[in-house]
Amino acid sequence: MDFERGPLDHTEGQSVLPVPSAPGPSTPLKSSYTYHSPTPTGEGPYILGVDEAGRGPVLGPLVYGVAYCPVSYRDQLEELGFADSKTLTSEIRSGLLRTLRSDSDNLGWSVRVISPQDISSGMLRRPATNLNRQSQEATVMLIKDILDKGIRLSEVYVDALGTTSTYQAYLSSQFPHIEFTVESKADFKYKIVGAASVAAKVTRDACLEGWVFEELEYQPPDVELGSGYPSDPKTQYWLKTSLDPTFGFPKIARFSWTTVKLLLEKEGHAVQWIDEGQASLIKAFESAQGLDKDRCGLTRELGIRSIAAL
């Protein structure tokens, strides 16, 4: 999925450009999507970096980014200024995205934007798809997409938390012809991961800055969203002023986050679900299991022994 234009890149002192990987004006982020830049034409093999932005926030999407270039371009990449996006100002990050877009013969990048509602539905379903699994799926999807474009990857560098050796073994099993390096702080150590970090961070910031609420009757409070992190006072205040005691929060919030759960339990109206037919249903299946002398004839005829049979 691609967008014609998105929230603007506010690079100071330069012409203002849209962020192409973010939704356009008046476009709500209803579901997850993938954006790909034009495919580079430089001769391979290629190196590729993977990083994310927005793993911890309670608001907005989680964005996985990849950047890739020919192995022969590595020395030039070292001079472009890419680094861990968290150490850079928003103006510098925006300028680096422009750099990433400036040499389409040698530089390619993509992002996978995982919507807040998809994050929550995955974590709340049974069995749950936890955030680590969702992150792995996004990474594998992006790498497969790049390979499907005809790009020959020889080395992939991934920034990751936790037990990196296990994750590296998993990725190597998925793509046995690629050499993987999975490390903590890889965005600081490898410029190609720094480039992926910039792509992910600028995209997430643009999504949050230009967020369009899809709830038609919802009137957002006139307060800042903040960074989206639970520890951010601006985000905390937004959450407190945005909570509707009956309907909860708009879909920008991750309902699987403890911050949201606690606020709903404390400030939300209690809900009691009532099914008037429940008692008779229980009685019918007690009969079906032989727990009731008046066993239902229909369940006996159909051979139904438990509610699971339905």
Q: How far is Cα 260 from Cα 116, in angstroms, rounded to an integer? A: 12
Q: How far is Cα 239 from Cα 259, in angstroms, rounded to an integer? A: 9
pTM of the model: 0.82
**Ranges of H-type helices in 210-273:** 233-242, 258-267
pLDDT at residue 50 tops 80: yes
Q: How confident is the model at residue 171 (pLDDT cuts 50, 70, 90)?
A: very high
> pLDDT tens digit string along 6-26?
444 444 444 445 899 999 888
For residue 244, give both structure tokens. Answer: 């509707």
Q: How far is Cα 294 from Cα 302, in angstroms, rounded to an integer? A: 16
Q: How confident is the model at residue 161 (pLDDT cuts 50, 70, 90)?
A: confident
Residue 12: what pLDDT? 41
Residue with tokens 């069995």: 127
**Angle, alpha carbons 173-38-208 (nearest 5°):** 85
pLDDT at residue 5 tops 80: no
User: Of all residues in the chain, what percent carry a pLDDT higher than 70?
Assistant: 82
Residue 270: what pLDDT? 84
> pLDDT tens digit string along 117-152?
999 999 999 999 999 999 999 999 999 999 999 999
| Residues 6+ away with beta carbon under 8 Å from 203 | 19, 21, 22, 35, 53, 63, 65, 111, 113
Q: Is 51 annotated as a binding residue?
A: yes
Q: Is 2 annotated as a binding residue?
A: no
Q: How confident is the model at residue 85 (pLDDT cuts 50, 70, 90)?
A: confident
Q: Is 286 annotated as a binding residue?
A: no
How do strand 62-70 and strand 17-18 relate by DSSP bridges?
A: unpaired
Mean pLDDT of 46-63: 97
pLDDT at residue 4 tops 60: no
User: Of all residues in the chain, what percent carry a pLDDT higher than 90?
Assistant: 70
